[in-house]
Structure 1
Amino acid sequence: MNECYVPRTHQAEIERNLRRFSVLVCHRRFGKTVLCVNRLVECAANSARPDWRGAYIAPLYRQAKAVVWDILKHHCRMRGESGVKFHEGELRADFANGARIRLFGANNPDSLRGLYLDGVVFDEVAQMPYRVWSEVVRPALSDRRGWAVFIGTPRGRNALYRLWNMARNDPDWFAAMYRASETGVLDPGELDAARREMSPEEFDQEFECSFSAAVQGAYFGRLVAEAEKQGRICALPHDPDLPVHTAWDLGMSDSTAIWFVQMGPGGECRVIDYYEAQGMGLDHYVRELQAREYAYGRHIAPHDIRVRELGTGKSRLEVARSLGIRFDVCPNIPVQDGINAVRSLLPRCWFDEKRCQAGLEALRHYRRSFNERAGDFGARPVHDWTSHAVDAFRYFAVGFRQQTDRPRPCRAENRYDPFERLAGRDDYAGRQRS
Structure 2
Amino acid sequence: MSSDLYVPRDHQARIEAGLARFSVLVCHRRFGKTVLSVNRLISRARRTRRSDWRGAYIAPLYRQAKTVVWDELKRYCGLGRDDCTVKFNETELRADFENGARIRLFGANNPDSLRGMYLDGVVFDEVAQMPLRVWTEVIRPALSDRRGWALFIGTPRGKNALWEIWEKAQADPDWFAAMYRASETGIIPQEELAASGREMSPEEYEQEFECSFTAAIRGAYFGQLLADADREGRITGVPHDPSMPVHTARDLGMSDSTAIWFVQARPGGTFAVIDYYEASGEGLDHYAKVLDRKGYKYGTHVAPHDIRVRELGTGKSRMEVARSLGIRFDIAANIPIQDGINAVRTILPRCWFDRERCAPGIEALRHYRRSFNDRTANFSTRPVHDWTSHAADGFRYFAVGFRPPAPGARAARTANDFDPFGRDHGRQRA
Kept after mapping to 2: 8 A contact 1:259/1:271: yes
Kept after mapping to 1: 8 A contact 2:305/2:333: yes
Q: SS state of the match for residue 106, structure 2? A: strand
Partner of 1:143: 145
Give the share of equivalent positions with the same residue, in percent. Answer: 69
Deviations 1:104-153 (A, max 9, x none): 11123344222211111010011111111122212221221111101000
Match of 2:103 among 86, 101, 105: 101
Alignment of 1:382 onto 2:384: yes
The CA distance in 2 between the partners of 1:364 and 1:108, in whole Å, is 20
Partner of 2:369: 367
Match of 2:357 among 355, 362, 370: 355
Kept after mapping to 2: 8 A contact 1:324/1:419: no
Give the aligned CA root-mean-square deviation in angstroms.
Answer: 1.9
The CA distance in 1 between the partners of 2:167 and 2:82, in whole Å, is 39
AA paired with 1:254? D
The CA distance in 1 between the partners of 2:321 and 2:11, in whole Å, is 57
Between Structure 1 and Structure 2, how many residues are aligned? 427
Kept after mapping to 2: 8 A contact 1:238/1:272: yes
The CA distance in 2 between the partners of 1:124 and 1:80, in whole Å, is 34
> Residues 324 and 3 of structure 1: is their aligned pair in 2 closer, same or farther, counting only changes over 3 Å?
same
Partner of 1:307: 309
Kept after mapping to 2: 8 A contact 1:297/1:409: no
Kept after mapping to 2: 8 A contact 1:297/1:408: no
Deviations 1:237-290 (A, max 9, x none): 111222111101111111110111111112111111111111111111111111
Q: SS state of the match for residue 266, structure 1? A: coil
Match of 2:208 among 206, 226, 232: 206
Match of 1:256 among 258, 271, 294: 258
Provide TM-score, normalisation by structure 1: 0.94
> Residues 232 and 110 of structure 1: is their aligned pair in 2 closer, same or farther, counting only changes over 3 Å?
closer
Partner of 2:7: 6
Query: What residue ranges of structure 2 are gaps of 5+ in the alignment?
Result: none
AA paired with 1:236? V
The CA distance in 2 between the partners of 1:138 and 1:244, in whole Å, is 33
Partner of 1:58: 59
Alignment of 1:328 onto 2:323: no
The CA distance in 1 between the partners of 2:413 and 2:210, in whole Å, is 56
AA paired with 1:216? R
Kept after mapping to 2: 8 A contact 1:126/1:161: yes
AA paired with 1:7? P
Alignment of 1:45 onto 2:46: yes
Alignment of 1:31 onto 2:32: yes
Partner of 1:172: 174
Shift of the alpha carbon at 1:395? 0.4
Deviations 1:362-405 (A, max 9, x none): 1100001221211210100001000000000000000014x654
Q: Which moved more, 1:103-112 or 1:151-160?
A: 103-112
> Residues 404 and 57 of structure 1: is their aligned pair in 2 closer, same or farther, counting only changes over 3 Å?
same
The CA distance in 2 between the partners of 1:195 and 1:85, in whole Å, is 44
Match of 1:235 among 215, 234, 237: 237
Match of 2:161 among 147, 156, 159: 159
AA paired with 1:116? Y
Partner of 2:425: 430
Kept after mapping to 2: 8 A contact 1:295/1:415: no
Query: What residue ranges of structure 1 are gaps of 5+ in the alignment?
Result: 422-427
> Residues 408 and 201 of structure 1: is their aligned pair in 2 closer, same or farther, counting only changes over 3 Å?
farther
Kept after mapping to 2: 8 A contact 1:243/1:409: no
Kept after mapping to 2: 8 A contact 1:247/1:258: yes
The CA distance in 1 between the partners of 2:90 and 2:354, in whole Å, is 46
Q: Which moved more, 1:411-420 or 1:58-67?
A: 411-420
Kept after mapping to 1: 8 A contact 2:327/2:421: no
Partner of 1:340: 342
Provide TM-score, normalisation by structure 2: 0.95
Kept after mapping to 2: 8 A contact 1:53/1:117: yes
The CA distance in 1 between the partners of 2:407 and 2:75, in whole Å, is 64
Partner of 2:419: 418
Deviations 1:269-328 (A, max 9, x none): 111111111111111111111112211110000001111212222211121122222110
Point out the structure with the larger helix share: 1
Partner of 2:275: 273
The CA distance in 1 between the partners of 2:424 and 2:34, in whole Å, is 56
Kept after mapping to 1: 8 A contact 2:258/2:280: yes
> Residues 409 and 395 of structure 1: is their aligned pair in 2 closer, same or farther, counting only changes over 3 Å?
farther
Shift of the alpha carbon at 1:170? 1.5
The CA distance in 2 between the partners of 1:20 and 1:54, in whole Å, is 14
Kept after mapping to 1: 8 A contact 2:156/2:207: yes
Shift of the alpha carbon at 1:432? 5.9
Q: SS state of the match for residue 196, structure 1? A: helix
> Residues 36 and 267 of structure 1: is their aligned pair in 2 closer, same or farther, counting only changes over 3 Å?
same
